[in-house]
A = this chain, B = another copy of it.
Amino acid sequence: MSHEQIAVTVDVVIFALRDNDLQVLLVKRKYPPYEGLWAIPGGYVQADESLEDAAARELREETGIGVGELETGATVPYIEQLYTFGDPGRDPRGRVITIAYFALVPAPLVIQAGSDASDAEWKPVRPLPQMAFDHARIVQYALKRLRYKLEYSAVGFQLLPPVFTLSALQRAYETILGETLDKRNFRRRILQAQVIEQTGQYQTGEGRPAMLYRFREDAVAEVKARRLFP
């Protein structure tokens, strides 16, 4: 039957903050089709692994970061299913559908991609380099989802090291959203939300030392949307 021909892959859009910029981990294609263009890391789903396992495996293969689970059920680093892309013709070699995931990895934990086994490199999301298949569309979709989630949940912390200053957190939000935020309002809101707590440590450097904070794992990190109807 015709449906048996379909190949199933998992692709993972991996974001990190590097050099004060939102970057995505891409691999350069060595063979046709699209030789020399950039692609999202991915691979075939094996017969005995779940989609989530396949996505976690891809993430580990490219970054060296293993996926763990917290008591809350959330994963570290953050990974979630994004969308499934399956247009006929999206791969010239045959019918391939891909379940796309997106992942957020904390900057300092990132194993330097491209150093040895992997040929992956971090690339800024804008401008995005020329990409293979429909992968530009997938990255754009992931970016849209990231910005959206940033507004009503606390995923932003997943891109920061375990302890961070409020200024670093604000810079992270400004980098991803592409807009500047008011310092006083930002600090008031995030402290009110009770999603972070002081560590008691300070970070020194240029200027006045800054309090270091950590994310509270037990925090209820969702905000109610303003409902269209009461």
Interface residues of A (CB under 8 A from B): 1-9, 44-51, 81, 83-84, 86-88, 95, 97, 99, 150-154, 156, 173, 181-182, 185-186, 189-190, 193, 223-230
Please, which residues of chain B bring their CB within 8 A of the CB of A88? 47-50
A44 CB, min distance to chain B CBs, angstroms? 4
User: This chain: how many copies in the complex?
Assistant: 2
Q: What separation, in Å, do the CA atoms of A223 and B230 have in the docked complex? A: 12
Please, which residues of chain B bring their CB within 8 A of the CB of A230? 181-182, 185-186, 189
Please, which residues of chain B bring their CB within 8 A of the CB of A87? 50-51
A sample of 13 inter-chain contacts (CB < 8 A) reads A2-B44, A3-B7, A4-B7, A6-B7, A8-B8, A8-B86, A49-B88, A51-B97, A81-B84, A97-B99, A150-B229, A151-B225, A154-B228
Please, which residues of chain B bring their CB within 8 A of the CB of A228? 150-154, 189-190, 193, 223
A165 CB, min distance to chain B CBs, angstroms? 16
